[in-house]
Amino acid sequence: MSTEDTTDAEAREQLIDLAAEFYDQFAAGEIPRMELPTRTKSNIEYDPEKSVWVYGDRKSTRTANSVSGARKLLKAAYTIEFLANQLDQDRSSTLRELYYLSESWDNEEAQFNGQDESNNLVEDLEIITGVTREDFHMRPEESGATLMGPLELREQTRRGEREIHCQLDVGEGGYQIPNNPDTIEFLDHDIDFVMCVETGGMRDRLIENGFDDEYNCLIVHLKGQPARATRRITKRLRDELGLPVLVFCDGDPWSYRIYGSVAYGSIKSAHLSEYLATPEAEYVGIRPQDIVDYDLPTDPLSDSDVNALESELDDPRFQTEFWEEQIELQLDIGKKAEQQALASRGLDFVTDTYLPERLEEMGVL
Partner 1 sequence: MTSQQTTLGEGATTAEELAEGQREISIAEFFEKNKHMLGFDSGARGLVTAVKEAVDNALDATEEAGIRPDIYVEIREVGDYYRLVVEDNGPGITKEQLPKVFGKLLYGSRFHKREQSRGQQGIGISAAVLYSQLTSGKPAKITSRTEGSAQAEYFELIIDTDTNEPEIGTAETTSWDRSHGTRIELEMEANMRARNQLHDYIKHTAVVNPHARIELREPGLDEPLKFERATDQLPAETEEIRPHPHGVELGTLIKMLDATDSYSVSGFMQEEFTRVGKKTADSVLDSFRDRHFGRELGWPARNGAPSADVAAAIEGALREAVSNKGADATDTFAERIANSLTERERTTYSQLVDIVATVADEVGTDTGKTFGATVRENAVAAAWGELTKFGAGDAADNGEDADLDRLTPTLYELVDDATSTRKDDAAVHGLAERLAERFVALGDDDEPNRMRLTLDDLTTLVHEAADTTEEYDDETFGDTARENVVEALWSRMVTVPDDPPNVNEIAGDRDTASELLEAMRETDILSPPTDCLAPITAELVEAGLRKEYDADFYAASTRDAEVHGGDPFVVEAGIAYGGEIPADGNVDLLRFANRVPLVYQRGACATTNVVKRIGWRNYGLDQPGGSGMPSGPAVISIHVASTNVPFTSESKDALASVPEIEDEIELAIREAARELKSYLNKRRSMAKRREKQDVLGRILPQMAEKVAEVTGRQHPDIEGAMARIMNNVGVDRERDGESVTLRVENHSDRSESLEITEIVSAEPEGLPDGVEPIEMDGEWFVNWHPEVGSGETVELEYSLPTDADADATVDGVDDEKLTVNA
Q: Which is nearer to partner 1, 66 or 113 (CB)?
A: 66
19 binds partner 1 (CB under 8 A): yes
Q: Which is nearer to partner 1, 26 or 322 (CB)?
A: 26
Q: What is the DSSP letter of 131?
A: -
142 binds partner 1 (CB under 8 A): no
Ordered alpha helix ranges (H), the chain: 8-27, 67-88, 95-101, 115-129, 200-208, 211-215, 228-241, 253-263, 273-276, 288-293, 303-314, 321-333, 349, 355-361
Q: Which is nearer to partner 1, 65 or 156 (CB)?
A: 65
Minimum CB separation from partner 1 for residue 308, in Å?
15
- Residue of 4, 20, 143 whose CA lies nearest to 84: 20
Q: Which is nearer to partner 1, 62 or 257 (CB)?
A: 62
Long-range (24+ apart) CB contacts under 8 A made by 314-319 are: 314/41, 315/41, 315/260, 316/41, 316/44, 316/45, 316/46, 316/53, 317/44, 317/53, 317/260, 317/264, 317/265, 318/256, 318/260
Whether 163 contacts 187, CB under 8 Å = yes
- Please provide the DSSP assignment of 316-346 as one string: GGG-SHHHHHHHHHHHHHTEEB-GGGGGGG-
Among 61, 89, 157, 344, binds partner 1 (CB under 8 A): 61
Residue 34's contacts (CB-CB under 8 Å, 6 or more residues apart) are 18, 21, 22, 61, 62, 73, 76, 124, 128
122 binds partner 1 (CB under 8 A): no
The site that binds partner 1 (CB under 8 A) totals a number of residues, namely 35
Among residues 46, 55, 99, 100, which one is catalytic? Answer: 100
101 binds partner 1 (CB under 8 A): no
110 binds partner 1 (CB under 8 A): yes
Residue 52 to residue 39: CA distance in whole angstroms: 16
10 binds partner 1 (CB under 8 A): no
113 binds partner 1 (CB under 8 A): no
Among 65, 302, 319, 344, binds partner 1 (CB under 8 A): 65
- Residue of 285, 279, 183, 188 whose CA lies nearest to 231: 279
329 binds partner 1 (CB under 8 A): no
36 binds partner 1 (CB under 8 A): no
> Is 100 one of the annotated active-site residues of the chain?
yes
Whether 55 contacts 40, CB under 8 Å = no
Q: Which is nearer to partner 1, 19 or 292 (CB)?
A: 19
23 binds partner 1 (CB under 8 A): yes
Residue 355 to residue 352: CA distance in whole angstroms: 7
Q: What does the per-residue mask of binding to partner 1 show for 286-325, with x meaning CB under 8 A? A: ----------------------------x-----------
> In a 3-state reduction of DSSP, which class is residue 300?
strand
Q: Which is nearer to partner 1, 241 or 313 (CB)?
A: 313
184 binds partner 1 (CB under 8 A): no
Q: Which is nearer to partner 1, 42 or 157 (CB)?
A: 42
The terminus-to-terminus CA distance of the chain in angstroms comes to 36
Minimum CB separation from partner 1 for residue 73, in Å?
6
Known catalytic residues are 100
- Interface contacts to partner 1, rule CB under 8 A: 15-16, 19-20, 22-23, 25-33, 42, 61, 63-67, 70-71, 73-74, 77-78, 80-81, 84, 107, 109-110, 314
